[in-house]
A and B are shown apart, each in its own frame.
Chain A
Amino acid sequence: MEGDSEGGEAMSGDQRSAGAWRSLVLAPQRIVVRRSELLAGAAEGSVFDAVAESAQRVLGADGALVSVEIDGSQRRVGASGLGLDEDAADIELFRRTLRRVEPLAIEDTCDSGDASEATKVRASMGVPLLVDDVAVGTLAVFSHAPRRWSDDDRLHLVTLSQWPVAELARIDTLARLHVAEAALTRATRVFDAMAEGVIGLDLEGRVALANPAAARMLGWQASDLIGQDLHAVAHFQRPDGAAYPHDQCPVLTTLEDGAARAARRETFWRRDGSPLHVDLSVGGLIDEGEVTAAILVFDDIEERLDVERMKDDFVSIVSHELRSPLAAVHGSLELIGDVADDPDATAQMLGIARRNTDRLGRLVDDILDLERASTGRLQLERSELHAVSLMEQASESVSGLAREGDVTLEVRPSDVTFWGDGRRVVQVLTNLASNAVRFSPQGGTVTLTAHRLDREVAIEVTDAGPGIPEEDQERIFDRFWQVPAGSPRGRRGSGLGLAIAQSMAHAHGGGVSVRSTVGAGSTFTLHVPVRARRSTVPVDRRTEDGRDPR
């Protein structure tokens, strides 16, 4: 029945969506509409015709009519006898009858001024049809000749009027039922579709109803959850394992006093014993001043907590990484005056200041690059690239570091070309090559090789360093992750290099992967998909509000 009276036209998704809410919000109006529809349906060959016919016969009249208010005007829903198609005058009689609670009897329309050539009615008697003390229609009998209506006539007509009144009450009830069922269906769908968990609790704190999200989050079958003491099965202890006393539980307190409350970072316990971190709000259902139940709404905040933790970590690490070089700059400049008569010490202090200023600058650049790349604000300027040229540029940038460590850089010849942002690809390769050199043994070789595969270009940077244990191979791409023991050759990295390389590869629609065996060296590979020559930013790199960042 839902969807009826919404028109037969095809609806757009928006209209359907609006319709879903309309059926809830506009339920009272919909009852009126539904009642009209049911009445209009009932008007044809109906109970009302039978009522009119009975009234005509019982009272020996020439005709009878039943009228009902539909959509604000009186409409004939049942008729018997008379040539009553011409009902111009009926309407006025109906209207006058409707204003009464008693029957309106007219013995001769010529005397009462109601005479009408058209209707040929000389006498009439009407009774209002009262539903809940409101006149919503009339039952009337007519005569072609003047007639004096007896007390029996009145009694019969009033008695007969109970029949259409009962029918109207039935239709009204049916209309309410139809609309209520439609609204219930909608409300159930809303309840089931909610991303938040919703649980209805009885006064004892037992689950009376639970939506699918609540059951899923708590790890229960919805049907098993019904009837459970929620505090006992899911809220019995604090995150630290200490008991959670009943009198401290916000949910149970609301069941006591009915007051709405919210609690952040509560811990529920799933059926399998694992913790579920939630924000919750709970409200009491009050009936005649008494709390009868409570409704609990909660939301899984694990993901948000993760993001907050990551942000905290990021901030604390960044501040440490920024402070260390800053402390060196500050300390060395502070001492310049004290070592002024020692040229070597002066040069050393100035060197420290310069090195750490550079390090600060690189760190700031790295953080900005990473931030741009990971929020999709990295602008790629694509052009056709020759892999060998990029590898040579990367090799050149780390040649100084390689000389220091007696490491040989080897760029293998290649005719591979692809489409990408040359500056960024060189940045990625320089990063990988710099790591490879820093971890290479003295006299080792770092090799750069490009391959054209089926749908991508792969550029490999291979070293003969110590290799990376399997358990670390994912973490090396994390921000600020550093080799736990032993300093590699050359400058200390920011710990952001591989994270940046990975983000930039992602911005190209590719990635950086690693193959490594402890003791046998590592190969880092930049993968870039071969695509049409269009500058596109992948959808998953767009800004959060869905705008294309360019």
Chain B
Amino acid sequence: MTRVVLVVDDEADIRAIARVALETIAGWRMLEATSGDQALAALAGGVPDAVLMDHLLTGEDGLMVAARLRQEAGLTGVPILMMSAASTAPTSDDVDGFIAKPFNPRTLAAQISAAAGWNA
């Protein structure tokens, strides 16, 4: 089925790669944002099936943005997956899973499905 994933990353190149990975290869749809404010704005247009959040965003970090999505946008029941290059996964009550960075774009959709607990 066609999933919709919101990717929050402040690096345009990483978003471009994720878009090819999710849309061209997996046939999903991708929304994108570079910051907490943009992510909140994106949610106003529709609720995605999952949020893929970079940990080290410029300004607010990924955990802070995740908290805002839960509290300010009232986002519930949608898994927020944290992307990080850190060896220990940054985590909080707002976060449901972890995707190691750099990710392999060819298997990104499968990784998201696994982390979100979706049956492929």
Contact = CB atoms under 8 A, between A and B. Distances in A.
B103 A331 contact: yes
Contacts of B21: 331, 335
A338 B107 CA distance: 12
Contacts of B106: 334-335, 338
Interface in B2-52: 10-11, 13-14, 16-17, 20-21, 24-25, 34-35
B67 to A, nearest CB: 17
Contact of B20 (A323, A330, A335, A356): A335
Contacts of B11: 324, 328, 492
A342 B20 CA distance: 11
B114 interface: no
A326 interface: yes
B20 A338 contact: yes
Interface string A337-373: 0110010010011001001100000000000000000
A487 interface: yes
Contact of B17 (A352, A482, A485): A352
A332 interface: yes
Contacts of B56: 320
B58 A327 contact: no
Contacts of B102: 323, 326-327, 330-331
A323 B52 CA distance: 18
B82 to A, nearest CB: 15
Contacts of A349: 16-17, 20
B74 interface: no
Given A323-B85, A352-B13, A345 B20 contact: yes
B99 to A, nearest CB: 12
A482 to B, nearest CB: 6
Given A338-B106, A345-B24, A487-B34, A328 B58 contact: no
A111 B115 CA distance: 121
B1 to A, nearest CB: 21
A487 B85 contact: no
A427 B16 CA distance: 32
A339 B58 contact: no
B77 interface: no
A334 B14 CA distance: 13
A62 to B, nearest CB: 102
Contacts of A319: 85
Q: How many B residues are at the interface, by size bracket?
A: 20 to 34
B105 A331 contact: yes
B14 A339 contact: no
A8 interface: no
A484 interface: yes
Contact of A339 (B10, B24, B59, B101): B24
- Interface secondary structure of B, over-half rule: loop
A330 B14 CA distance: 10
B59 A484 contact: yes
Nearest to A353: B13
Contacts of A345: 20, 24
Given A320-B56, A338-B25, A484-B59, A348 B16 contact: yes
B41 to A, nearest CB: 15
Contacts of A485: 35, 58-59
Contact of B14 (A328, A483, A486): A328
Nearest to A325: B13
A89 B56 CA distance: 101
Interface in A471-506: 482-487, 492
Contact of A332 (B13, B25, B35, B59): B13
Contacts of A332: 13, 16-17
Nearest to A317: B56
A355 B56 CA distance: 20
Contact of B24 (A324, A331, A338, A484): A338
Given A320-B85, A323-B85, A335 B17 contact: yes
Nearest to A319: B85
B15 to A, nearest CB: 10
Nearest to A355: B13
A356 B59 CA distance: 22
Which residue of B17, B85, B103, B105 has the most chain A CB atoms within 10 A of its CB atom?
A: B17
Interface in B74-120: 85, 101-106
Contacts of A327: 14, 85, 101-103
A405 B111 CA distance: 39
Contacts of B58: 482-485, 487
B28 to A, nearest CB: 14
B23 to A, nearest CB: 10
Contacts of B105: 331, 334-335
B47 to A, nearest CB: 26
12 contacts: A320-B56, A324-B14, A331-B17, A331-B105, A338-B24, A345-B20, A349-B16, A355-B13, A484-B59, A486-B59, A487-B10, A487-B58
Interface of B: 10-11, 13-14, 16-17, 20-21, 24-25, 34-35, 56, 58-59, 85, 101-106
Interface of A: 319-320, 323-324, 326-328, 330-332, 334-335, 338-339, 342, 345, 348-349, 352, 355-356, 482-487, 492
Given A338-B106, A485-B58, 11 more contacts: A319-B85, A323-B102, A324-B14, A326-B102, A328-B14, A331-B14, A335-B105, A338-B20, A342-B24, A345-B20, A485-B35
